[in-house]
Amino acid sequence: MVGSTVESVLADRGYARAARQVQAEIDALPGPESTVARLERL
């Protein structure tokens, strides 16, 4: 069951497309240095 589900996910290009979109959104977020700077200002 798990194996067939994994195969389905890997075969469906939509999952890869969605994963790239999520990765692009994560990459656009401020990095940890921004968080540290905000914390230091508190």
Q: What is the pLDDT of residues 1-42, one digit of tens each?
A: 899 999 999 999 999 999 999 999 999 999 998 999 889 999
pLDDT at residue 12, as a whole number: 95
Give the whole-angstrom CA distance, residue 32 versus residue 35: 5
Residues 6+ apart with CB under 8 A from 9: 15
Segments making up each domain of the chain, as ranges: 2-41
Give the whole-angstrom CA distance, residue 40 versus residue 23: 28
Give the whole-angstrom CA distance, residue 25 versus residue 23: 5
pLDDT at residue 16, as a whole number: 94
Overall pTM > 0.75: no
